[in-house]
Amino acid sequence: MINVRSELTPASLAKKIAALFEASAAKLLSMERTWSPAQGAPVYTVDGHYTSRGWTEWTQGFQFGSSLLQFDATGDSHFLDYGRDHTVRLMAPHVTHQGVHDHGFNNVSTYGSLLRLMNEGRTADDLWERRYYEMALMCSGAVQAMRWSRTANGGGYIYSFNGPHSLFVDTIRSLRALAVSHRLGHVLMGENDQRISLLDRVIQHAEATARYSVYYGEGRDHYDIRGRTAHESVFNTNDGNFRCPNSQQGYSPFSTWTRGLAWAMCGFAEQLEFFATLEEPHPEVEATMRRAAEATCDFYIEHSPTDGIPYWDTGAPNLYKLGDWALKASDPFNPYEPVDSSAAAIGAQGLLRLGRYLKNERYWQAGLTVCDSLFAEPYLSTDPGHQGLILHAVYHRPNGWDRAPGADGVPRGEACMWGDYHARELALYLLRMIEDRRYLTFWS
């Protein structure tokens, strides 16, 4: 369980945040020198250098979005130029990609950040450039909303790249693509000119994720523990009925893959913030999302080591060999099971956003506690020869895709693109508070 530290404030982390962005600059410049578009999107490091993994290009937006976050934090125009130029050159296929559930990851992190920076006066307000970003975001949200499966209760969900039967918990954070598109006044046009509300699809997907991906300790199955999540929920596509939980990247359908948990924490919290800005109230939807956000954040606090950096899955088969692992700090060098720092980078933002939204000190201070651990060694990489920013991340443990440097076979010492991106976003979130700047949101 996280030892929530009540004395921490954003200002008390200022030196660590400055060190993070100083290290970040060198690592981004190193990637610029060694990465080529022909290699595909960088995914994770091997021996300290970013490599690609042929699956989908779901991390491309995190790559260029990281440069935009670096500019936002430091004002260094080199990173604005790099992020903007590469977004224009390489991101268009992601806008109209019908085969993935990752539009929020790829397009809101790039086109969305560029529009936000323009709206905040950080970049010159050029009308046609603005329209270009808006068009990309409107199209992205509509294309993402086309991947739609209906459920037996009349709702539906954005289905994963596995196919129409598959609801991923991850997609709750990618849902922001639809929210941004709706905010820009866009709709999805269907057969016979049917106007399909993107907000309605945000609502239905959030409700499906809260109902099927999150557990509430109500006896849904033998392993129903409040706040745990299933990576994948499987449906019968003939009638829309839920069939079973599943896991692609976790240990089992009945344990909790902690990065999936973190996606839910962050995704529900930021959607609560978004819904609070809408003219029309949606109390039932907000109550559903709040219930899911509180349950997942509570589970994270209760099932993480004391420093807030979780192991990759709460049911990992060798976790018991660490003894009372939840009563001591995380150990990325243990010979039994890896931690996943990327889950911490994502989950901490969920804790902070939910804490601020609810004015709940426990969540807020838990988020700061995670940041205090994550923004320091052994997690923050200070090695100038390592391109990763946040070490000890895990990508796909069941597939064995992560580098394990020792004879024990446990991955450690490497970074991933989504972990580095979310650590930068997390640090920027706090930096803006320290500097009394505009509150950071995915919309603008």
pLDDT digits (tens, 9 = 90+) for 354-402: 999 999 999 999 999 999 999 999 999 999 999 999 999 999 999 999 9
User: Which band of pLDDT confidence, cut at 50, 70 and 90, is reported for residue 238?
Assistant: very high
pLDDT at 156: 98
User: Which band of pLDDT confidence, cut at 50, 70 and 90, is reported for residue 17?
Assistant: very high
186-207 mean pLDDT: 98
pLDDT at 110: 98
Select the more confidently predicted residue: 56 or 45: 45
pLDDT at 39: 92
111 near 105, Cβ under 8 Å?
no
Spatial separation of the C-alpha atoms in residues 306 and 329, rounded to whole Å: 5
276-301 mean pLDDT: 98
Left (φ > 0), alpha (ψ -120 to 50) or beta: where does 240 sit? left
Q: How many CB atoms lie within 10 A of CB 361?
A: 11
* pLDDT(54) > 80: no
Q: Give the burial class of 59: count Cβ atoms within 10 A of its Cβ; 0-12 exposed, 13-18 middle, 19 or more buried.
A: buried
pLDDT at 264: 98
Spatial separation of the C-alpha atoms in residues 32 and 295, rounded to whole Å: 40
pLDDT at 56: 85
Spatial separation of the C-alpha atoms in residues 246 and 251, rounded to whole Å: 10
26-53 mean pLDDT: 96
Separation of CA 86 from chain center: 21
For residue 268, give both structure tokens.
Answer: 């529900």
Integer angstrom CA distances of residue 357 from 277, 285, 352, 361, 431: 12, 15, 9, 11, 18
Q: How many CB atoms lie within 10 A of CB 328?
A: 13
Q: If you average pLDDT over every residue of the chain, what do you get?
A: 97
Q: Which CATH number fits domain 11-134+256-434: 1.20.1730.10, 3.40.640.10, 1.10.1070.20, 1.50.10.10?
A: 1.50.10.10
2-15 mean pLDDT: 98
118-144 mean pLDDT: 98
pTM: 0.98
pLDDT at 377: 98
- Domain extents for the chain? 11-134+256-434
167 near 157, Cβ under 8 Å?
yes
